[in-house]
Amino acid sequence: MANAPHGGILKDLVARDAPLHDSLKAEASTLSDITLTERQLCDLELILNGGFSPLESFMNQADYENVVDTLRLADGAIFAMPITLDLSKEDIETKNIKPGARIALRDPRDDVALAIITVQDIYQPDKVKEAINVFGADDPAHPAVAYLRSKVKDYYVGGKIQAIQPPTHFDYVALRYTPAELRSHFAKVAWRKVVAFQTRNPMHRAHRELTVLAARQRQANVLIHPVVGLTKPGDVDHYTRVRVYEAIMAKYPNGMGHLALLPLAMRMAGPREAVWHAIIRKNYGATHFIVGRDHAGPGKNSQGKDFYGPYDAQDLVTKYRDELQIEMVPFQQMTYVPSRDEYQPRDEVPKGIETLDISGTELRRRLKTGAPIPDWFSYDAVVKTLRESYPPRTKQGFVLFLTGLHNSGKDAIAKALQVTLNQQGGRSVSLLLGDGVLPELDESFSRKDAEKSKDLQRLAYVAAELARAGAAVIAAPIAPKAASRDTIKETVLQSGGPGGKFFTIPVNTPLEYCEATDRQGFYNSARQGKLSGVVGVDVVYEAPERAELVVDITQQSIPEIVTRIVLLLETNALV
């Protein structure tokens, strides 16, 4: 393979001098340390394994400024992305970080020391300039600019890195390769020409056709090289995507393609990102690299316009063509031509011929509603995998949150609902009655106590986890305070994944009725001063201002209320 880079400092170090590796490990335990961010962890992995070659460390000021200004390291080698170890002033002061200091860099997931950096310099970046030069605008609609503004600390630390060990992964281990491993795999299977395909999205038939066409054009094999580090916020999670990639590999002619995962933290920097991706793929042993339409595009800016032109990435890669040591395979948008049952680059489709496309938004809509996804667009195995991760609403979890006074009828409604939803089937149903679940969550809880906000928070956590796993959750605490109800709702909505549906249903039965029919005597005891903390007597019930549905057992029968709640679920396409 032409211009194979070194195997990364980790490989050199471990192979060359194993005792040194042990002594570094011992030394790390005596040093001041930094727990890496998730992005720094991805960057460090590729520094260590040679994926960022010729870069062997987090950038010092000279490299950083050169890269930001000219896409070159200080020694003139082309490199498109600043790779920096950002730290706060507090870190620098409390950890005594200064030139010459040796600092252990730890994996945030398991606290293992992965490397030691010998600090060369500490410098303050011009973040506005970084945003404009690298990402094209200082506009927080760009995910990397938002990250730069809100997450990146104020100081960057450069210095030589010594490797201790690579980060440990537990997922898809067999599909993870270092550059050296992938190059030796290509040597083993005698692949001389390899077209690499970068992706952060599920692959469908267009992508399979695109990569096969590239292979045919260049008489090469195909490396499917998806990013499994950080991608654009909101992207399909990498577990789902890897299952999709595994399914699509079966659609390639036998032996033509190979799947390997790349632990890269993308920046969505379009043109610069494409140059960076090309360098990385060269390091992994590819001879060719596909750049299609809107490569690594971040979407729209705050004026609603695209940050980059659809082929800007191809133009920038072309500009550095002679130095990159990997050949770009440019593509126009691949589009489906029904009359030929084939995908073709848009610029090759004769005028007047019908073409079909399904946008990302439309695909998400079809997944959400369960609408069909046609064969010309994807493969059954791919669609099945996506549907498992993005179940239609009828399979998604939700929380029905009944709040109201003691003896307002909310428990009776909740139990009747549980029976009705069990009868309907399709989901597991969880009933979280205040009296039933709160003592389970808090051993000091007594039925004589008022609900504590901490207990309600625990209940919210359980409800959120159950809904996220697809359950129909019926929660019925008293929850008299607006603030704690808001926190419960937020906990469920922020739990992510399918299951973020939350319905507040106040059971507004008047206090007089609740009191008159209270066979347990709570109100009576409270009135006689024997019990305190009884909502409606000495604790105010703050009536909800916003609710999806308000019910009252003095106005409607329980079967009527259940019907109204089922209709609410139906209106939201959940049943």
> What does each C-alpha distance from 488 to 440, 455, 471 come to in angstroms?
18, 11, 17
Catalytic site residue from 176, 183, 200, 281: 200
Tell me the two tokens of residue 375.
């064969």
Spatial strand order in the sheet of 85-87: 32-35, 102-106, 113-123, 155-163, 85-87
Which residue has its beta carbon closest to ligand ADP? Answer: 292
Nearer to ligand ADP by Cβ, of 64 and 331: the residue is 331
**Least distance from C-beta 333 to ligand ADP, angstroms?**
4
Binding of residue 333 to ligand ADP (CB under 6 A): yes
Binding of residue 211 to ligand ADP (CB under 6 A): no
H helix runs in 71-166, sequence order: 89-94, 127-130, 143-150
Residue pair 273/317 in contact (Cβ under 8 Å)? The answer is no
**Least distance from C-beta 294 to ligand ADP, angstroms?**
6
Residues 6+ apart with CB under 8 A from 224: 197, 199, 203, 211, 245, 248, 249, 257, 258, 259, 260
Tally of residues, the chain: 575
**Least distance from C-beta 172 to ligand ADP, angstroms?**
18
Binding of residue 331 to ligand ADP (CB under 6 A): yes
Say which DSSP state 116 is in: E
Nearer to ligand ADP by Cβ, of 240 and 457: the residue is 240
The answer for 7, left when phi > 0, alpha when psi is -120 to 50, beta otherwise, is alpha
Binding of residue 267 to ligand ADP (CB under 6 A): no
> What does each C-alpha distance from 500 to 88, 370, 495, 496 come to in angstroms?
35, 18, 7, 6
Nearer to ligand ADP by Cβ, of 205 and 427: the residue is 205
Taking each helix axis from N to C end, the angle separating 453-468 and 434-441, rounded to the nearest 10 degrees, works out to 100
**Least distance from C-beta 150 to ligand ADP, angstroms?**
21
Q: How far apart are CA 36 and CA 108, in angstroms?
A: 6
**Least distance from C-beta 258 to ligand ADP, angstroms?**
17
Binding of residue 201 to ligand ADP (CB under 6 A): yes
**Burial of residue 405 (number of CB atoms within 10 Å: 0-12, 13-18, 19+):** buried
**Least distance from C-beta 91 to ligand ADP, angstroms?**
32
SS3 annotation, 27-78: HHCCCEEEECCHHHHHHHHHHHHCCCCCCCCCCCHHHHHHHHHHCECCCCCE
Nearer to ligand ADP by Cβ, of 355 and 524: the residue is 355
Nearer to ligand ADP by Cβ, of 293 and 415: the residue is 293
Nearer to ligand ADP by Cβ, of 290 and 405: the residue is 290
Catalytic site residue from 37, 49, 60, 199: 199
Q: How far apart are CA 50 and CA 5, in angstroms?
A: 8
**Least distance from C-beta 343 to ligand ADP, angstroms?**
8
Contact window for ligand ADP (CB under 6 A) among 73-81, 162-170, 201-209, 417-425: 201-209
Binding residues among 273-312 for ligand ADP as defined by CB under 6 A: 290-296
Residue pair 191/216 in contact (Cβ under 8 Å)? The answer is no
- The 3-state DSSP composition of the chain as helix, strand, coil percent (nearest 5) reads 40, 15, 40
Binding ligand ADP by CB under 6 A: which of 106, 183, 200, 225? 200
Binding ligand ADP by CB under 6 A: which of 119, 334, 414, 526? 334
Nearer to ligand ADP by Cβ, of 196 and 460: the residue is 196
**Least distance from C-beta 274 to ligand ADP, angstroms?**
7
Binding of residue 148 to ligand ADP (CB under 6 A): no
Binding of residue 147 to ligand ADP (CB under 6 A): no
Binding ligand ADP by CB under 6 A: which of 40, 53, 199, 418? 199
Binding of residue 264 to ligand ADP (CB under 6 A): no
Binding ligand ADP by CB under 6 A: which of 81, 144, 210, 264? 210
- Residue 96 is a catalytic residue: no
Catalytic site residue from 201, 240, 301, 355: 201
Contact window for ligand ADP (CB under 6 A) among 60-68, 102-110, 196-204, 215-223: 196-204
Nearer to ligand ADP by Cβ, of 210 and 575: the residue is 210
Count H helices, E strands: the chain?
22, 16
Count of residues that interact with ligand ADP, criterion CB under 6 A: 17
Taking each helix axis from N to C end, the angle separating 9-16 and 18-28, rounded to the nearest 10 degrees, works out to 110
Q: How many C-beta atoms surround the C-beta of residue 116 within 10 A? A: 21
Nearer to ligand ADP by Cβ, of 230 and 296: the residue is 296
Q: Is 515 helix (H, G, I), strand (E, B) or coil?
A: helix
Contact window for ligand ADP (CB under 6 A) among 78-86, 205-213, 365-373, 457-465: 205-213
Residue pair 297/64 in contact (Cβ under 8 Å)? The answer is no
**Least distance from C-beta 36 to ligand ADP, angstroms?**
24
* 288-291 vs 398-404, strand pairing mode: unpaired
The CA dihedral of 494, 500, 501, 503, to the nearest 10 degrees, is -30
> What does each C-alpha distance from 151 to 267, 301, 385 come to in angstroms?
13, 19, 33
- Residue 199 is a catalytic residue: yes
Tell me the two tokens of residue 484.
């704690």
Contact window for ligand ADP (CB under 6 A) among 98-106, 198-206, 412-420, 504-512: 198-206
- Residue 407 is a catalytic residue: no
Nearer to ligand ADP by Cβ, of 207 and 458: the residue is 207
**Least distance from C-beta 266 to ligand ADP, angstroms?**
7
Nearer to ligand ADP by Cβ, of 363 and 432: the residue is 363
**Least distance from C-beta 201 to ligand ADP, angstroms?**
4
Binding of residue 198 to ligand ADP (CB under 6 A): yes
**Binding residues for ligand ADP (CB under 6 A):** 198-201, 206-207, 210, 290-296, 331, 333-334
Q: Which residues are catalytic?
A: 199-201
